[in-house]
Structure 1
Amino acid sequence: MGYASLDASLSFPDDNLPPNKRSILITDTLSASGNFLIHHFIVNQVKSDKHVVLVGLSQIFNHYLTIGRKLGVNLTLATQKGLLSFIDGLTSLYSQTDGFSKSTSTTITIPTAVLTCTASSISNSQTSKEILQNFYKVIKQTIVARHSSIDDSRVCLIFDDLSILLYAGFNVRDILEFVKACRMLIEKYNGSLIILIHADEDVSPSSFDDELDQEIFLKLLIYQSEYLLSVRGLGSGFSRDVSGEITMARGPKNQDKWFRPSTLHYKVLDNNVQFFAKGFSQGVL
């Protein structure tokens, strides 16, 4: 699987996979990336022979391919088997076009689907909404193409990371509607939704307005999530033995008694990540 010590702490009851019809929100900061958690969930899905739809907004496929090899999975082979569908939202998001048309073009291939738009083309709420509606259609078609019926369960939809849409100028309310639609879609297929987003307090994208600032946006995402994984640097500053700390908590609506909220320190290695109790950098849970 992925990181064994993290699986032990999360203690998901079914083969270390996120529970059905649940959402996981991963928050990190510019100084402490939570990207290693994305790889953990990808590896667990693939090794369990379950479908994962990865929306790569911050990285290209080769990034996940390289990390996957270090963790013992071949993502190229996984795509050929239909276990991984990669949606590349990065390449075309900032590509130059001759202008924005009412019908935003999207193309689907297996395993890659590309969102075509430009940051400069997002000039108003209607345009933002149209682009995200088309993007939702790409995601839905990718999932439906792989799953012939709603009984084919345990698909995992991963966004890495949603912050890119904010910095690209998408309307905040439209992003929230987009996330809600994706959650409803994934619940229909008895799967799970994982979102990574930056949570730096001193970073405020220009797309935020006075009525809905960054703090409120994050709170609304938290409200929609059952599990919260918060990655941040050490308050004491840089440490050679500890990369940072991760807090695992329940979302506001989560009443799962088996889930144990906790805070761990972690150390990122070349081909692994170790998690251990605070103050015990050499211990592994």
Structure 2
Amino acid sequence: MFAELNELLGASPQRPEPGEFTLLRDSRTDGSFLVHHFLSFYLRAGCKVCFVALLQSFSHYSIVAQKLGVNLTAAKERGQLVFLEGLKSCLDLVFGEEEEQPGQPSPLLFLSESPSDLRALFDFVRVSLSAPGSEAWAGPVLLLDDLSVLLGLGATPVALLDFIHYCRALVCCQLKGNVVVLVHSSEESEDEENELVVNSLCHHSDLILWAEGLATGFCKDVHGQMKIIRRVSLQQAGEQDLVQIYQYKIQDRNVTFFARGLSAAVL
């Protein structure tokens, strides 16, 4: 996890805030560093984590996690981390290979169904976070990287939003845990379905971390800009959301944040 980001968010692995839906949004840049942060943060906090990884392999996340001081293999072995490797599950389903747990439907069963729905994926999340022994952990967490992939695989916007609604009701409300979702977006995109999903999620999020590429293009000392949007209006009608804007630079084992125009390279 990144200590500076924790400071900006007022977060601590010793006191994880329960019941929050966090949306990670990126435009013209790669916001995956935020996924790695929250994965390591909640594992260090002692939470039970269900990680639906649709973009990269387990080995990729494991290598990055090691740099951040977290061992994903050990977390899996002790039952703290439930990892769904979406890439492998898709191939197993398409080519009809045997599943790791015979008799259990694939979480990505919607790929072969018409009309498609994400009920099997929700059941996977529910069973993973409600399994016996889960109460021994600090709290349940659903981490999804990234939601846009499900649209590309054929899921409808309505099915996606229904899935997120039920996950939020289960994890945030019933189990008093947290949900963290990454989604790609572009204000200039012609993908209306993706933008519909992004805008809908923004309206229902407690916290939005929006990573954007610089409007001026590539810079070796400033990799992007991040908006931290706290949805105060969800709890207090008529109140304005709190918005903070920082620029950042990604390093090998850390991410540094600074006010716009105050990069050490510029000063």
Q: Which bin holds the TM-score, normalised by the shorter protein?
A: 0.7 to 0.9
Point out 4+ residue stretches in structure 1 off by more than 6 angstroms: none
Give 2:3's aligned amino acid: A
Instruction: Name the residue aligned to 1:46.
Output: 43
**TM-score of the superposition, structure 2-length normalised?**
0.86
Q: What is the CA–CA distance in structure 1 between the aligned matches of 2:142 and 2:85, rounded to whole Å?
A: 13
Give 1:266's aligned amino acid: Y
| Cα deviations by residue, 1:185-207 (Å, 9 ceiling, x for unpaired) | 102111000000001134344xx
The size of the alignment, in residue pairs, is 258
Instruction: Name the residue aligned to 2:162.
Output: 177
Change (3 A) 1:184 1:152: farther
* Matches for 1:189-268 after TM superposition, within 5 Å: 189-205=175-191, 213-251=193-231, 252-255=233-236, 261-268=243-250
Instruction: Name the residue aligned to 1:33.
Output: 30
Shift of 1:262: 0.9
Contact preservation (8 Å) 2:46, 2:137? no
Q: What is the CA–CA distance in structure 1 between the aligned matches of 2:61 and 2:142, rounded to whole Å?
A: 15
Contact preservation (8 Å) 1:232, 1:244? yes
- Point out where structure 1 has 5 or more consecutive residues left out of the alignment: 100-104
Contact preservation (8 Å) 1:54, 1:85? yes
Aligned residues with identical type, % of pairs: 30
Shift of 1:169: 1.4
| Cα deviations by residue, 1:92-139 (Å, 9 ceiling, x for unpaired) | 22556478xxxxx97559xxx9634485x46x4x2x11xx10111111
Change (3 A) 1:118 1:224: closer
Instruction: Name the residue aligned to 2:107.
Output: 115
Shift of 1:175: 0.8
Instruction: Name the residue aligned to 1:20.
Output: 18
Q: What is the CA–CA distance in structure 1 between the aligned matches of 2:159 and 2:165, rounded to whole Å?
A: 10
Shift of 1:43: 1.0
Matched, 1:162 2:147: yes
Change (3 A) 1:263 1:185: same
Change (3 A) 1:214 1:97: closer
Give 1:12's aligned amino acid: A
Shift of 1:22: 1.1
Q: What is the CA–CA distance in structure 2 between the aligned matches of 1:135 and 1:89, rounded to whole Å?
A: 11
- Point out where structure 2 has 5 or more consecutive residues left out of the alignment: none
Aligned partner of 1:277 among 250, 253, 259: 259
Contact preservation (8 Å) 1:247, 1:262? yes
Give 1:156's aligned amino acid: V
Aligned partner of 2:124 among 132, 138, 142: 138
Change (3 A) 1:222 1:273: same
Q: What is the CA–CA distance in structure 2 between the aligned matches of 1:141 and 1:278, rounded to whole Å?
A: 44
Change (3 A) 1:84 1:158: same
Shift of 1:156: 1.3
Give 2:125's aligned amino acid: I
Q: RMSD of the TM alignment (CA)?
A: 2.9
Name the structure with the higher helix share.
2
Matched, 1:5 2:4: yes
**TM-score of the superposition, structure 1-length normalised?**
0.81
Contact preservation (8 Å) 1:28, 1:230? yes
